[in-house]
Amino acid sequence: MSGIASVTGYPDRPPTRCGAAISDTVAPLFAVIGILAALRQREQSGAGEWVDIAMLDTSAEPKASSTWERLEDFVREHVQRFIQALLEEEVTELLSAVYAGAQ
């Protein structure tokens, strides 16, 4: 249904099953990205978000290797920056609490 079989197998034979569980891998990855984006939105606006991920929707796109490369770049850049911001905030809060307790 996703079309992934169209890029597997051999040119002179029918499509073959994909060796990796693409949908089982990509859907959770997209879910994590959506959750992180929702957490960032909540942090900025205070409002909650609904994250809705469909396996078929996420498996239809990553047929091209360039999509995987763009997704990898996105994850590397944005998720690492988000985690770094959270860690810095936690460290700042911890240091503030320690400093306040020392007073």
> Sorting pLDDT into bands at 50, 70 and 90, what band is 95?
low
pLDDT score at 30: 84
- Domain extents in the chain: 21-102
pLDDT tens string 21-48: 777 778 888 888 888 889 888 888 988 8
- Token digits for 100? 């306040």
Catalytic residue among 12, 24, 57, 73: 24
Active site residue 24: yes
Are the beta carbons of 26 and 56 closer than 8 angstroms?
no
- Mean of the pLDDT values across residues 11-20? 76
C-alpha to C-alpha distance for 41 and 28, rounded to whole angstroms? 20
Q: What is the rounded distance in angstroms from the CA atom of residue 36 to the CA atom of residue 32?
A: 6
Asked whether 37 and 48 are in contact (CB, 8 A), the reply is no
Per-residue pLDDT for 78 more than 70? yes
Global pTM reads: 0.50
In angstroms, the CA 63 to CA 60 distance is: 7
Percent of the chain with pLDDT over 70: 71
